[in-house]
Chains A and B, each alone.
Chain A
């Protein structure tokens, strides 16, 4: 099983809502990532979790709050978002975060629209 799953596939939320994105992998990977991809742009790294601990936060605004409850799950909690936060949010995982030959496996993404 080389699959990373993400739910929901689509999400529409208002600027005052609180919602969460969920990512799951059962490959035994110990590194998990959140990327944000705007239309016609490449993905940009937001957060990295290594062995369930937050290791990188790429200066992401606090209205995005990641959580890694266990080695298979990664959440992204959203609160008071802005319309410019509308994007495709991609989750990825890799076996061990600091091995140079690691391939990152990506999920299908959650397409978020903030009204």
Chain B
């Protein structure tokens, strides 16, 4: 069974800092990995999707990397802003079926 772990569970940084969120998964047989953002009580917003054959994806201040063989992904956020405060979820899509297996998320607080 695929287990997805995110570290740290919570993170507080001052505005302007660069930061890294970590995601690890136990089964490397994945189609892709997605990073989502979830604001309190809201739905999920897709940030980046990395195919299993790719090493990284970038969107604005966000950069996600994938090392499938070691079962790890990182989400790098440059020059953090208070508006980045949210929970960040990592999800892997299994080879079989459509389901996304989610980690428990990292709760990020960026203070002004």
Contact = CB atoms under 8 A, between A and B. Distances in A.
7 contacts: A48-B97, A50-B98, A56-B99, A104-B46, A107-B43, A109-B42, A111-B41
Interface of B: 4, 31-32, 34, 36, 41-46, 49, 51-52, 89, 91, 93, 97-100, 102-105
B43 A106 contact: yes
A97 interface: yes
Contact of A106 (B41, B45, B103, B104): B45
A45 B99 contact: yes
Interface residues of A, number: 31
Interface in A48-95: 48, 50, 55-56, 58, 88, 90, 92, 94
Contacts, number: 64
B16 to A, nearest CB: 29
Please indicate which of the listed interface residues A4, A97, A104, A105 has the most CB atoms of chain B within 10 Å of its own CB.
A104
A56 B98 contact: yes
A59 B41 CA distance: 26
A58 B98 CA distance: 11
A103 interface: yes
A90 B44 contact: yes
A69 B32 CA distance: 30
Contacts of A45: 98-100
A101 B43 contact: no
Nearest to A45: B99
Contacts of A98: 98
Contact of B98 (A40, A43, A48, A108): A48
Contacts of A4: 43
Nearest to A55: B98
A90 to B, nearest CB: 6
Contact of A42 (B32, B34, B104): B104
A42 B99 contact: no
B32 A100 contact: yes
B102 A43 contact: yes
A31 B100 CA distance: 13
Contacts of A41: 104
